[in-house]
A and B are shown apart, each in its own frame.
Chain A
Amino acid sequence: MKTFLKLKDALFSNWHITFLTICSLITSFYIIYEISLWSIINATFINDFQICKDNFNIGACWGFVYEKWETIFYSQYPTHISFRPILSSLILILPLLYIVIKKKFDISTFFILLVSCILSYFIMAGGFFFLENVDTRYFGGIFLTLFIGVFSNILGLPLALLLAFSRNSNNIFVRYSSAIFVEIFRGLPLIATLFVFVIIFPLITQDSINLDMFFIICIAFVFLNAAYLSEILRSGINSIPSNQIHSAKSLNFSKYQIICNIILPQVFVKMFTPLVNQFVSIMKESTLVSVVGMFDLLGSLNLALGDSQWRIFYIEGIIFVAAIYWLFCKILLIYADRVSEKFYKEYRL
């Protein structure tokens, strides 16, 4: 009753607020009605092309997703062993969920995700026991998106730490090489980085035929991500007053102990939100791998749309893929909220 009165007060307290309430109610009902009309009420849920086509202008055709989900999920991976991309994706996503539920953010998180990355890679690539060898250029779909997202962050963060601390180093050589690395990668757009890597690597290895594109894009993502993350971490490191470092030195902490016990806990707590921002952003940027011929989730959708018959239902496909991306990013954002809440309770920062 009390909430009802509050609501009434908030929505209908005087005539212009009442007017606004009625207007927005009508608009939102209209939008919701139109959307549900198209996506649910008039939609087709079976993968019968003829029915879908007759229904084309009236409702959505989710049969397209049903027809093509294998291509979208596995891309060009051989279909007779499609349990392997499923298994690999699960190996990547389950530890992630475990970490979100447990609100973990420590060194063990790093190792859990590193192990799951390595494991999922070997299951995809095969070449041992009864698993037949699959070339990395067939990797794609949901696995590629997840793998790039997790791997570039898991290796990018330690590299970023190294870069951030060496940028504050007293050794001129160390400081400048770190600065040059960061400035180069921060100044390059991801597409350009990918192209440059694809061109440069064959020159270094003198081998343009056996170009492992998967390996190259992983390295490109790690480097680019590390450059961005290192700037976030560096601003966190610089935000810690030098007084605290002096005081730690006067208490006879070694340099390593100061970094581990005084600087890093504060940096990670203060910079957690921008760090997760970058995690999410690099996960979404993984769509760009399609420009160098790998098919991530969005690329696989384009692959599926290559079927000229079903091509007209691209909107349904895009909505489906967008929902998956949104889900992944939402998981990371829920993680960010939960961990910052925990940090506040533990550290009051």
Chain B
Amino acid sequence: MIKISNVSKLYSNEIVLNNLNFEILQGEKIAICGPSGSGKSTLLKCLIGIEDHDSGEIFIDNVLLDKTDKTKKQVRSKVSFVFQNFNLFPHLNVMSNLTLPLIKVLKLSKEEAEKIALANLEKVCMAEHVNKFINELSGGQQQRVAIARALCINAKIICLDEPTSSLDPELVKEVLDTILNLSKDNITVICVTHEMAFAKKMADKILFLDKGNLISFTDTDVFFNYSNELRVKNFLDKLLI
């Protein structure tokens, strides 16, 4: 599904991603963990070509991601993305935020688009807020609308950048359930997160980055209980769980 070989990225001579190699299969749920500044979000943004990688190859569903708009479009039709700061459009209400990409990009009719949008808003328990504007919603509500928008596109892969960072603990559970439900549809989930408890419950595999290097990429169970890597052990020791 996703294959990454020798991918590196520099920000003005500072190495952000250092020669990464890994492969993600269809339907897998991956959590990308690591300390701040380890390149987690950058890796995620490279996957859909919002940031360009400097060397190496990224294959998404057998499409080689290069710098041309054509392949980027192909890739973005397969991957939907939930940003850390939601990035909803403030001049539109909740419903239009969801239906605009469906109408303009997927060329659906307005009725169809609204049906899909409503169904996905119900999944994240936001159906009663359809007519509100974005600045009338709390952070957690915005986050859930952003997730609903990503679900609308019906993509094979969903990337989430810190989806739980602005949610209260009860809502984290709701987001977790939403993500776990996705696996029924065989959707691949890649999620950057700081919350190890969330990662433990959600993920099949955990990818651990530190200073742009891939430290470990193993099953969740192995990562938390039997990891040999010193860096991972140090990291886990400092957790409050």
The answer to whether A349 touches B104 (Cβ under 8 A) is no
Interface flags for A246-270 (1: CB within 8 Å of B; 0: not) read: 1111111100010001100110010
CB < 8 Å neighbour of B76 from A243, A250, A262: A250
The segment out of B85-93, B165-173, B180-188, B211-219 that lies at the interface is B85-93
On chain B, the residues within 8 Å of A169 by CB distance are none
A130 CB to nearest chain B CB (Å): 50
Interface flags for A268-289 (1: CB within 8 Å of B; 0: not) read: 0100000000000000000000
The answer to whether A251 touches B153 (Cβ under 8 A) is yes
Tell yes or no: B18 within 8 A of A by CB.
Answer: no
Other than A249-B76, A261-B104, A266-B91, give 11 A-B pairs with Cβ distance below 8 A: A246-B50, A247-B81, A250-B50, A250-B76, A266-B90, A269-B91, A347-B90, A348-B133, A348-B135, A348-B136, A349-B90
CB < 8 Å neighbour of B83 from A247, A253, A265, A347: A247
On chain B, the residues within 8 Å of A348 by CB distance are 90, 133, 135-136
Interface flags for A160-173 (1: CB within 8 Å of B; 0: not) read: 00000000000000
The answer to whether A257 touches B105 (Cβ under 8 A) is yes
CB < 8 Å neighbour of B80 from A249, A250, A261: A250
Write the chain A residue with the least CB distance to B152: A251
Tell yes or no: B100 within 8 A of A by CB.
Answer: yes
State in angstroms the CA–CA spacing of A248 and B153 once bound together. 13
State in angstroms the CA–CA spacing of A349 and B90 once bound together. 8
When A and B form their complex, which 7 residue pairs have the shortest distance between CB atoms, in order from nearest? Answer: A247-B87, A250-B81, A251-B101, A348-B133, A252-B76, A347-B91, A243-B87
CB < 8 Å neighbour of A253 from B87, B90, B101, B149: B101
Tell yes or no: B48 within 8 A of A by CB.
Answer: yes
Interface residues of B in 41-89 (CB under 8 A from A): 45, 48, 50, 73, 76-77, 79-81, 83, 85, 87-89
On chain A, the residues within 8 Å of B81 by CB distance are 247, 250
On chain B, the residues within 8 Å of A261 by CB distance are 100, 104
On chain A, the residues within 8 Å of B79 by CB distance are 250
On chain A, the residues within 8 Å of B85 by CB distance are 243
The answer to whether B50 touches A257 (Cβ under 8 A) is no
The answer to whether B91 touches A265 (Cβ under 8 A) is yes
On chain B, the residues within 8 Å of A250 by CB distance are 48, 50, 76, 79-81, 83
Write the chain B residue with the least CB distance to A348: B133
- Pick 29 A–B contacts, CB within 8 A, sort by A: A243-B83, A243-B87, A244-B87, A244-B89, A247-B83, A247-B87, A249-B76, A250-B48, A250-B76, A250-B79, A250-B80, A250-B81, A251-B76, A251-B101, A251-B105, A251-B153, A252-B73, A252-B76, A252-B77, A252-B105, A257-B104, A257-B105, A262-B89, A265-B91, A266-B89, A266-B91, A347-B92, A348-B90, A348-B133
Interface centre among A243, A251, A265, A269 (most CB of B within 10 A): A251
On chain B, the residues within 8 Å of A257 by CB distance are 104-105
State in angstroms the CA–CA spacing of A266 and B91 once bound together. 6
Interface residues of A in 235-251 (CB under 8 A from B): 241, 243-244, 246-251
Write the chain B residue with the least CB distance to A260: B104
State in angstroms the CA–CA spacing of A235 and B45 once bound together. 27
B71 CB to nearest chain A CB (Å): 12
State in angstroms the CA–CA spacing of A303 and B109 once bound together. 62
State in angstroms the CA–CA spacing of A253 and B103 once bound together. 11
The answer to whether B101 touches A252 (Cβ under 8 A) is yes
Interface flags for B143-161 (1: CB within 8 Å of A; 0: not) read: 0000001000100000000
State in angstroms the CA–CA spacing of A347 and B135 once bound together. 10
The answer to whether B91 touches A249 (Cβ under 8 A) is no
CB < 8 Å neighbour of B105 from A243, A253, A262, A269: A253
State in angstroms the CA–CA spacing of A41 and B60 once bound together. 86
State in angstroms the CA–CA spacing of A128 and B8 once bound together. 70
State in angstroms the CA–CA spacing of A347 and B104 once bound together. 19
A57 CB to nearest chain B CB (Å): 60
Interface centre among A244, A247, A252 (most CB of B within 10 A): A252
B141 CB to nearest chain A CB (Å): 15
State in angstroms the CA–CA spacing of A250 and B77 once bound together. 8
The answer to whether B91 touches A349 (Cβ under 8 A) is yes
A285 CB to nearest chain B CB (Å): 32
On chain A, the residues within 8 Å of B90 by CB distance are 266, 347-349
A251 CB to nearest chain B CB (Å): 4
On chain B, the residues within 8 Å of A244 by CB distance are 87, 89
On chain A, the residues within 8 Å of B149 by CB distance are 251
On chain B, the residues within 8 Å of A246 by CB distance are 45, 50, 83, 87
Write the chain A residue with the least CB distance to B79: A250
State in angstroms the CA–CA spacing of A266 and B134 once bound together. 13
On chain B, the residues within 8 Å of A349 by CB distance are 90-91
Interface centre among A241, A248, A249, A250 (most CB of B within 10 A): A250
B208 CB to nearest chain A CB (Å): 25
On chain A, the residues within 8 Å of B100 by CB distance are 261
State in angstroms the CA–CA spacing of A253 and B149 once bound together. 14
Write the chain A residue with the least CB distance to B133: A348
Interface centre among B45, B101, B136 (most CB of A within 10 A): B101
State in angstroms the CA–CA spacing of A249 and B92 once bound together. 17
